[in-house]
Amino acid sequence: MVISSDKKPRVWFITGCSSGFGRALAETVLEQGETVVLTARNPQQIKDLAASFPDRTLAVQLDVTKPEEVREAVKQAIANFGRIDVLVNNAGCEVAGVIEEVPDKEVRREFETNFFGVLEVLRAVLPHMRQQRSGHILNFSSIACFDAGAGGGIYSSSKLALEGISGSLANEVAPFGIKVTIVEPGWFRTDFFRRSYVLTDTQIEDYKPLINEIRQQIIPVQEMKDMAPGDPRKAALAMIKVVDSDNPPIRLALGADTVETVEGALEFMKSELDAWREVSMSTDFDEVAAEKIEVPS
């Protein structure tokens, strides 16, 4: 499928193009006739993709945890194509382990990649989008934000932090014609768990059964990624459809598993809110509460 002649080709800037969602999205966008700034920590891993579309790609080295590389990558993108229409913050990693003992070094590495790295890219790209008074930003979050699984607290908190700034960002940049969508994928057939997932060991005896259980669950996932229900190619098409939309969602759930998880989380939150409504509502000053009581006419 190629974009129609009356539609102006866009310039996409995608982080983490060496594999997974980044690679699938870049390939799909290029096949539709658009332009992509391909980024990866190791540009050799995207050399083949750039060679297949030499006139519509720019391969750039980019480790999002290095601000100088972020600035240089954006500078090269503008110098080559004059604009960035779609920014996709896809690069990420996961360090799993119990909250009590995940090393500070690993916690900070997680946030440097999943949160501060994204923040750095946003701040480098936004001035150009504001100047052109248009753009669309896709920030990759996760199903983990709606499923507080044991061992995943550090990862989900980094993604929840990203969701927090994404919501505010959407309101801040809307007057400039810039749109923001949070992408929330479930389990897809990518190499994420093999390439970007680390489970720390535990030294605390009480947690050993839990860590062993997580390890037994993750090993099959790493070895049998082809069993995952999600198709990265279809995810790419869904993201393109969102960017094409005049009224895109602030959140895009990808995969039936994510939809079910989000629905379950919302139902659970509603049931707890209803169960504790009286206690929650009892905390206002008496005179304030009295003002809220409706008097029958």
Please give the positions annotated as active site.
141, 155, 159
Ordered DSSP codes for 228-256: -SB-HHHHHHHHHHHHH-SS--SEEEESH
What b/e sequence results for 80-106 when a residue is b if at least 16 CB atoms lie within 10 Å of its CB, and e otherwise? ebebbbbbbbbbbbbbbbbeeebeeeb
Distance, CA of 118 to CA of 44 (rounded, Å): 23
User: Under DSSP, is residue 181 helix (H, G, I), strand (E, B) or coil?
Assistant: strand
Distance, CA of 289 to CA of 291 (rounded, Å): 5
| Cα distances (angstroms) measured from residue 209 to each of 153, 199, 213, 227 | 17, 14, 6, 26
Ordered DSSP codes for 29-54: HHHTT-EEEEEESSGGGGHHHHHHST
Q: Is the dihedral of CA 27, 33, 37, 42 positive or negative?
A: positive
